[in-house]
Amino acid sequence: MSEEFKEKLQKYSEGKLTEEERKEVELEMEKLEAYQVYLEEQLDQEIQATGRHQEAHLPQAALAPGKERTIIRRGKWRARIINTITVLAALLVFTVISSIITAVFYGTGNRTDIYSDVVSSAIAVSRPNTTVHLSANAKYFFRMELTGRLQKQIGGEQVDAGDYRQKFLFGWSGSGNYNWTDMRNAGNYYFLYPDAAGGSSGGGDDNAEWKKLQKLPEGTVAEAYLSLDHLFTTDELLQKLEPLNLLPVWFAADTGQSSADTVVTTPLGFPYMPIWHEDDAEMIQESKEKTGWFSSVTSRSVAYPSVDSYGDGELRNENFIKTLKLLQEHKSLTRQAAPFIQLDEAITYTQEHGVQLYGAVVTGPVKELLKLKEVSWVSHIRVGEVRLWNWQDRGN
């Protein structure tokens, strides 16, 4: 601003200018005001574009210090809000897209059903008298989780034994998590393998187990792990069990590695009732209901082959080997649920030698279990869980 214009401003404020000079000064002041507005607009645009004020590039007298700080602060907050909204919008879009991909991935090719079948089968063949019915829950970000309640047959009832959880990320599976209600269910059982001369090779003293049964009230039921005096075929063992007022629930099968151990703490076997798979079922009726854009619920009515209660040994054996082959096809998944299973050796051995049994799990009234002390084919017993009476005598 020139000295001459400053003098005119001074005289303007004192009212000493002529009418013509006064109008000239007012016109100059209007130009200065327009220039000030223009500078403010330019500064706003620069703050939005770069997020900071390039102070060195602006005229020193363009803005008052207070006004300048206000504009800079407003620009910073505007940039923060825009960045936050951008991140949230991107996260929302990614969540929606990942949910769609997750639903499509786990819903294609019966992938979820296969995972459930493999995991529940691995538990059934590696954990005596333990079953699980799994539910699949697809989550965001390509994750899925299988969960279910672990159950055991004690007497005439299925009782709760804990819960099972296994997480998935696309095709990769984490380790299965067993949460037992009673830690004895985690592996407090064993079988004694019979030696070549007959009898159990371990020769374990089970007097304490028989005394435990004798001390239990008559109105109770229990599960018992029986070691056999020699190898039985499935039909032979079923014939031995048929006259008893007991319920067979699981059979320990000789798969090669058992013969090398006197005490078998990681048995491999199969439930009394076969483990049916999807291709074993005969479809009777099917209906599908759409529940969303990318989800639907399918209801099926199926029938599985009938099984003779104390027969059909060949059918049971074939089902056992078929189950092992299913687990072999999904070995990495099986390993997460039952890491100690030696599938390749087990399949080779059973196909070569047939299915032969060295142990069984039975359940029923304590007084009926005590009668097993007198039978020659039971070489050793180990008592499992006990419950109050829930038994209905079985007609034979």
Q: Which residue in 46, 157, 117 sits closest to 333, CA to CA?
A: 117
Residue 73 belongs to a domain = no
Residues 364 and 224 in one domain: yes
Reduced to 3 states (helix: H, G, I; strand: E, B; else coil), residue 233 is: coil
pLDDT at 73 over 60: yes
Residues 193 and 58 in one domain: no
Burial of 263 (0-12, 13-18, 19+ CB in 10 A): middle
Beta bridge partners of 163: 149, 179
Reduced to 3 states (helix: H, G, I; strand: E, B; else coil), residue 165 is: strand
Domain boundary at 29, 45, 63, which? 63
Residue 163 belongs to a domain = no
Sequence length of the chain is 396
Q: Which helix (H) or strand (E) holds 125?
A: helix 111-126
CA distance 49 to 47: 5
Residue 89 belongs to a domain = no
Beta bridge partners of 165: 147, 177
Residue spans of beta strands (DSSP E) within 296-356:
296-303
Domain boundary at 63, 81, 106, which? 63
Model confidence at 138, in pLDDT bands (50, 70, 90)? Answer: confident
Residues 194 and 340 in one domain: yes
pLDDT digits (tens, 9 = 90+) for 19-67: 787 777 677 766 665 655 565 666 566 656 655 444 444 444 444 555 5
CB within 8 Å of 20: residues ≥ 6 apart? none
pLDDT digits (tens, 9 = 90+) for 276-295: 998 888 877 777 777 666 56
Residue 124 belongs to a domain = no
Residue 286 belongs to a domain = yes
Beta bridge partners of 149: 133, 163
Residues 210 and 344 in one domain: yes
3-state helix/strand/coil string of 248-301: EEEEEECCCHHHHCCEECCCCEEECCCCCCHHHCEEEEEEEEECCCCCEEEEEE
CA angle 276, 280, 284 (to 5 degrees): 110
Residue 256 belongs to a domain = yes
What average pLDDT score do residues 154-162 get?
94
Domain boundary at 63, 79, 109, which? 63
Residue 212 belongs to a domain = yes
Cα distances (Å, whole numbers) of residue 3 to 17, 26, 244: 16, 17, 122
Residues 234 and 379 in one domain: yes
For 125, phi and psi rounded to 5 degrees? -90, -15
pLDDT digits (tens, 9 = 90+) for 243-278: 999 999 999 999 986 555 688 989 999 999 999 998
| pTM of the shown model | 0.72
Model confidence at 303, in pLDDT bands (50, 70, 90)? Answer: confident
Total domains, the chain:
2
Q: Which residue in 373, 322, 316, 366 sits closest to 343, CA to CA?
A: 322
Can you give the residue range of the structural domain that contains 208? 188-388
Residue 32 belongs to a domain = yes
CA distance 257 to 268: 10
pLDDT digits (tens, 9 = 90+) for 312-370: 999 999 999 999 999 999 999 999 999 988 999 999 999 999 999 999 999 999 999 99
